[in-house]
């Protein structure tokens, strides 16, 4: 499976009856019970396509043009995701089950390959070090803030990816 398949999988889980549940807003919202494999394929396809388009565009625009231009883009993609998922799942019943952060990370880890997770973990550690270096050598309060934010953000990402690597290794050991 590819990188975006791993990101997509974090919003899905199986309930105790074997039904696939879809959580559009991840751990922050209610899940929907998908009635069959065809519905799951449609929803997964939309989420995967959404991620393949929105993430590179938001990252690219933020990098090139800054937050001033990426903020409206973020709003646009949020509206697209809301109405896109609503059109696909509004007829399906809500689930009584919740999605936990651990389940979300475990689902994502299962769909990523180990090398991808290792590369992302390495990059997270590298960006933490760069953030610390930026803060330590900063010449203005703004540079200190950017360096600290970078270190905290990528440190948090590193912890999440580290957890996924742990889950991936544990599941590989039980096979």
User: What are the beta bridge partners of residue 94?
Assistant: 32
Supply φ then ψ for residue 32, to 5 degrees: -115, 145
Q: What pLDDT was estimated at residue 6?
A: 75
Burial of 69 (0-12, 13-18, 19+ CB in 10 A): exposed
Tell me, what's the pLDDT at 26?
Answer: 86
Partners of 14 in beta bridges: 20
pLDDT at res. 1: 57
Please report the pLDDT score of residue 121 as a whole number.
94
The model carries a pTM of: 0.73
Structure confidence at residue 175 (pLDDT): 52
SS3 per-residue string spanning 39-91 = HHHHHHHHHHHHHHHHHHHHHHHHHHHCHHHHHHHHHHHHHHHHHHHHHHHCC
Per-residue pLDDT of the chain (175 residues; tens, 9 = 90+): 577 877 788 889 888 888 999 999 988 989 999 999 999 999 999 999 999 999 899 888 888 887 788 889 999 999 999 999 999 999 999 998 898 888 888 877 877 788 888 998 999 999 999 999 999 998 999 889 988 999 999 999 999 889 888 887 887 665 5
């Amino acid at each position: 499976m590819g990188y975006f398949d791993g990101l997509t999988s974090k919003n899905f889980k199986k309930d105790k009856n074997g039904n696939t549940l879809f959580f559009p807003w991840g751990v922050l919202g209610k899940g929907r019970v998908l009635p069959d494999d065809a519905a799951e394929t449609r929803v997964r396809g939309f989420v995967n396509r959404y991620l393949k388009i929105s993430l590179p565009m938001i990252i690219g625009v933020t990098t090139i043009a800054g937050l001033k231009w990426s903020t409206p883009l973020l709003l646009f993609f949020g509206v697209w995701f809301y109405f896109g998922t609503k059109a696909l799942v509004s007829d399906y019943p809500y689930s009584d089950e919740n999605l936990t952060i651990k389940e979300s990370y475990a689902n994502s880890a299962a769909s990523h390959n180990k090398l991808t997770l290792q590369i992302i973990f390495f990059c997270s550690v590298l960006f933490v070090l760069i953030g610390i270096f930026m803060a330590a050598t900063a010449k203005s309060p703004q540079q200190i803030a950017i360096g600290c934010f970078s270190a905290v953000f990528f440190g948090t990402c590193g912890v999440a990816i580290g957890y996924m690597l742990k889950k991936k290794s544990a599941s590989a050991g039980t096979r």
